Every structure is written in C-alpha cells, then in structure tokens.
Amino acid sequence: MLRRCGEQRMRTLECSNGCAARQEVINGHVYKREPRQALYAHSYSLIDLESGGGYIWALYRDDTFLKVIKIECATLGIAGQWSLRHVHPKRVVNAFIACDFLYTVTQSSDSNVLSVVYDFESDIYVEPSKEVGSWKRHGIPSNVQYDPLSRTINVFDNGLIYTIDTKQT
C-alpha cells in the first residue's frame, strides 16, 4: 500500500498472483494463499519498487515474465503498465529502472552482466540488449541502483561495491 504524506487516501497495488504463502482470517473465515515465485532468480522478493522523475515504478512477476507499473507520486494514479514478455525473471538476478530504461543483471559462469533491455519512453525493447558493464562474479548482487548525480550505476555484490559509468541521454 502506498500513501502520500499528509493524506488519508491509500493506494493498494494488487499483483495478479496474490501474496506470499500465509493464512488470513476475514470475517471468521480462514483463507490460505498459495506461495508465489520470487521476483528474480536467487531472490526472496515478490516486488521491487523504484523511484525517480516523480514516479514510483513497481516491478513484479507474472508466471513467466516481468510486469511493470508506473505510478505518479503526486496523485498515486497509474501512469503506465507493461507486460514484458521478453524478460524472463528466471534468467535475471536483479533489475532496476533508471531514466525510463529497464536494466537487468544476468549471470554467466564467472561474471555478472548488466544490460539495458527496455525503453519505456519509446515503448520498445532494446534489440539486441545493450551490455552496459560486467564484473567478476562473487555472488548474487543484492542491490543495483542508478545515481543521477554522478550518472553511475552502483552494484553491491557479496560485500563489494562496483561503480559502472554510464552515459544516459
């Protein structure tokens, strides 16, 4: 649920497959929800939230592909929705949105690879996906984020921090 500061109104994001496995008691009835698959490979998260440019971006998983909702911070209204059928979460270990682009982190046998795969402003896949950077694989990157001040991407991987310079247009 999202709530603007100083307002009573709340917005609930209902992702298509329910929530994590748990029981809920509603009006004396017990309802059991089935467990959902994690958002990415090697992840425990069900949803990933990003903010930037006056929007909140929500990334979540359908059965086999990634879905994205763009929410206006001022009104909490939905500004856009995408079903990214060419982005398969089982192949992705992390993802984030920066400057209206979707970036994914995938793994090879000895490295992590950061690529830009979707342009939300133009509503097109980046074909072929553009590799932005890679680094020696130490583990699963726990956090990847864009810093608009330095125009760099910072990656936190098994206690190490990598900074990747990027030229955003």
Q: What is the pLDDT of residue 1?
A: 54
Task: Note the pLDDT of residue 23.
Answer: 42
Q: What is the pLDDT of residue 67?
A: 92
In which band, very low, low, confident or very high, does the pLDDT at 9 lie, cut at 50, 70 and 90? low
Residue 150 CB partners (closer than 8 Å, separation 6+): none
pLDDT of residue 169: 46
Q: Give the dihedral sign, CA 51/90/92/45.
A: positive
pLDDT at 70: 95
Q: State the pLDDT at residue 34.
A: 60
- Quickly state the pLDDT bin for 24 (edges 50, 70, 90): very low
| Band of residue 83 on the pLDDT scale cut at 50, 70, 90 | very high
Q: Report d(CA 49, CA 70) in Å as an integer.
A: 10
